[in-house]
């Protein structure tokens, strides 16, 4: 089996198109990420980092007011230093506001549950509120650090990382079976004494290794680029410090969420690999295989991000598409559940179940397809 996997990996990596496409895409990403380098506010951030105590919050409010008073009623521009300081102080104020919102939600949910229990209410809505309360009570938004680099690394996944993984899987794997038909090698595959199942398994394993290689390369590029640009600190900040996750109920700091994000992305990408292999096994022409798999990957992006079609039931379905699960962010931005026989199930758990089902179904169909093919 090891020799078969090595041979299949060789066939994948000998394709010049994957190197050309990857280099071009990384260059385009680097150009898109251009701009001024960060770090000018780092030193001022350091003086405020740590737990946001009440005393620190009051001090930051006073410091911001002192800066504002310097310019109030005067027709002079703010100095660069004061702009930087004001930005840091506003970040502290925003984080404190998010903690205030979280505390308010907790109290509101407690009041709702108390009233509902008093009135003898039961059902899904009550269970959902109880789950949300338990999640919101498990953390506080009170850790303040300079986390621009960490935030940019995480945000890369939702945009460039998604496109890089999807495009490179399509370029590298769309021909994995269909090219065998074009070259006549399918007859060897179907009649080999090694067995169809082993040969198909070798293609699956090599495809997964190719996926890991692609993700490791672009994530290494992402980490090195962002840390060089913005610095690598701030990973202990709560994920709610990032604007997109302001209303997230998950008790995760950025480092923990970063690992969760990579795991969810890989799970979604494995689902995409399984679908691409199945489509390639069904198509005798590589171009057709590429177009069908590409359409499956691109449709959620086109509908939700480009055309912005707002149909409730369609939006809910597409949130659990391979593409959106690979993007990850929509699963963790808000408190969202589905009703499973009266029980609230969180979106990330639903996504995991959907992806496992997709992988198992696609690979089962792939083995069944190759088992039923006849030697000409």
pLDDT one-digit tens code per residue, 168-211: 999 999 988 887 765 556 556 655 555 678 888 999 999 999 99
Model confidence over 70-122: pLDDT tens digits? 887 777 788 888 888 888 999 999 999 999 999 999 999 999 999 888 887 78
Q: Sign of dihedral through CA atoms 216, 220, 226, 232?
A: positive
The Cα–Cα gap between 309 and 329 comes to 19
Q: Is residue 156 scored above 70 in pLDDT?
A: yes
- CA quadruple 80, 82, 84, 90: dihedral sign: negative
Residue 30 near residue 70, CB atoms below 8 Å: no
pLDDT digits over 212-233, tens only? 999 999 999 999 999 988 888 8
Q: Measuring CA to CA, which residue among 85, 97, 93, 90 is closest to residue 47?
A: 85
Structure token pair of residue 338: 């589905």
- pLDDT in the model for residue 258: 95
Q: What is the pLDDT of residue 192?
A: 57
pLDDT at 154 over 70: yes
Confidence of residue 286 (pLDDT cuts 50, 70, 90): confident
Nearest C-alpha neighbor of 180 from the set 81, 281, 103: 281
Among residues of the chain, what percentage have pLDDT more than 90? 59
Classify 346 as helix, strand or coil: strand
pLDDT for residue 60 is more than 80: yes
């Amino acid at each position: 089996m090891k020799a078969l996997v090595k041979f299949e990996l060789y066939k994948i990596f000998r394709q010049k198109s994957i190197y050309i496409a990857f280099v071009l895409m990384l260059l385009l990403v680097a150009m898109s990420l251009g701009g001024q380098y960060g770090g000018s506010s780092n030193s001022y951030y350091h003086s405020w980092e740590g737990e946001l105590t009440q005393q620190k919050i009051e001090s930051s409010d006073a410091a911001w007011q002192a800066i504002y008073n310097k310019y109030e009623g005067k027709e002079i521009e703010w100095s660069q230093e004061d702009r930087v300081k004001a930005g840091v102080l506003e970040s502290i104020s925003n984080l404190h506001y998010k903690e205030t919102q979280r505390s308010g939600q907790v109290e509101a949910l407690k009041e709702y549950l108390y009233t509902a229990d008093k009135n003898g209410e039961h059902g899904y809505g009550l269970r959902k509120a109880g789950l949300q309360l338990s999640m919101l009570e498990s953390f506080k938004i009170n850790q303040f650090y300079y986390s621009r680099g960490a935030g940019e690394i995480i945000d890369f996944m939702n945009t460039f990382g998604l496109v890089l993984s999807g495009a490179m899987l399509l370029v590298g794997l769309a021909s994995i079976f269909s090219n065998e038909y074009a070259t006549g090698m399918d007859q060897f595959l179907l009649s080999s004494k090694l067995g169809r199942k082993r040969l198909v398994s070798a293609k699956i394993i090599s495809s997964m290794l190719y996926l890991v290689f692609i993700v490791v390369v672009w994530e290494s590029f992402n980490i090195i680029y962002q840390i060089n640009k913005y610095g690598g600190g701030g990973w202990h900040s709560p994920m709610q410090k990032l604007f997109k996750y302001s209303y997230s109920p998950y008790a995760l700091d950025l480092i923990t969420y970063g690992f969760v994000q990579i795991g969810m992305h890989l799970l979604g990408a494995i689902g995409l690999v399984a679908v691409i292999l199945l489509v390639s096994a069904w198509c005798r022409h590589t171009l057709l295989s590429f177009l069908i798999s590409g359409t499956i990957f691109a449709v959620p992006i086109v509908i939700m991000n480009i055309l912005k079609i707002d149909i409730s039931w369609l939006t809910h379905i597409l949130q659990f598409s391979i593409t959106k699960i690979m993007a990850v962010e929509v699963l963790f931005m808000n408190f969202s559940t589905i009703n499973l026989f009266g029980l609230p199930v969180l979106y990330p758990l639903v996504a995991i179940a959907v992806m496992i089902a997709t992988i198992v179904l696609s690979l089962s169909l792939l083995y069944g397809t190759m088992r039923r093919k006849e030697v000409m």
